Amino acid sequence: MLEAKEVTYRHPGGFYLLENIHFSIQKNEVVGLSGVSGAGKTTLAKILAGFLKPHYGTVNIQQQKRKAHPVQLIWQHPEQAVNPKWRIRKILQEAGNMDDTLFNELGIQSEWLTRFPQQLSGGELQRVCIARALMTNPDYVIADEVTTMLDPIAQAEIWQLLLRMADKKQFGLCVISHDRHLLDKVCDRIVRFEELSYD
């Protein structure tokens, strides 16, 4: 179980963005996290995935010691999450050994591998980022508004993929979005961001 307890965070010199947050997610569970824009959903995601350190409180992950982080975050903007100077092949290799069956399942075509990130569309690049996160065999995946900039068809494809992979590889999936309809569709359980903190 991935569990955040009493997590408190503020940006340096700023106000408290997260105060006394409690959040937990089981393996093989799809949890939706909804909240208004600016509430701190992305900050919480970064804390859970180890990008930021909370000022107070703990994040407990039950896991064995491994090279890659057990919680993988898929960023809202895939073009920021890849080195613009690298070709797709190298971007994927950074996360581990190339896994052709995974690429097939995610619909990553072999001719993408020699291209630069700018030569792929947002949806295509997001698939690359998802593949990269899954190549590390994570215990938990946090999808932070991953389909916000995509058209409805691409959105549907990405969610089908993610749900199928979560089912197959048995990882806990945390879906962050402000789109209630989407969350109703894909999640086992939905929590509202405002409900996470109680005194």
Partner 1 sequence: MTKKVMIPLILLIVLYTTSILIDKDMIQVQLLTKNHPPSLEHLFGTDWLGRDMFLRTLKGLELSIGIGLLTAVLSTMIGFLLSVLSTIHEKIDQVISWLVDLFLSLPHLVTLILISFTLGGGFKGVVIGLALTHWPQITRVLRGELLQLKEMPYVQLSGKFGQSFWWKVWHHYVPHVLPQLLVGFMLIFPHAILHEASITFLGFGLSADEPAIGIILSESMQYLTSGMWWLAFFPGVMLLIVILLFQSLANSVKNDLERDIQHEAFIEHSATNHSASENKSPYS
Q: Which is nearer to partner 1, 132 or 191 (CB)?
A: 132
Q: How many residues bind partner 1 (CB under 8 A)?
A: 27
Pairing of strands 140-144, 172-176: parallel
Q: According to the binding rule CB under 8 A, does residue 160 interact with partner 1?
A: no
Enter the DSSP assignment of 85: T
- Is the four-CA dihedral 30, 72, 23, 42 of positive or negative sign? negative
150: exposed, middle or buried (C-beta count within 10 Å: 0-12, 13-18, 19+)?
middle
Q: Which is nearer to partner 1, 153 or 199 (CB)?
A: 153
* The one-letter amino acid at 15: F
- Residue 60 dihedral angles phi and psi, to the nearest 5°: -100, 130
From 10-18, 28-36, 64-72, 183-191, span contacting partner 1 (CB under 8 A): 64-72
Q: Which of residues 76-105 bind partner 1 (CB under 8 A)?
A: 77, 80-85, 94-96
The correct pick among 61, 102, 113, 116 for binding partner 1 (CB under 8 A) is 116
List residues near partner 1 by CB under 8 A: 49-51, 66-69, 72-73, 75, 77, 80-85, 94-96, 115-116, 118-119, 132, 136, 153
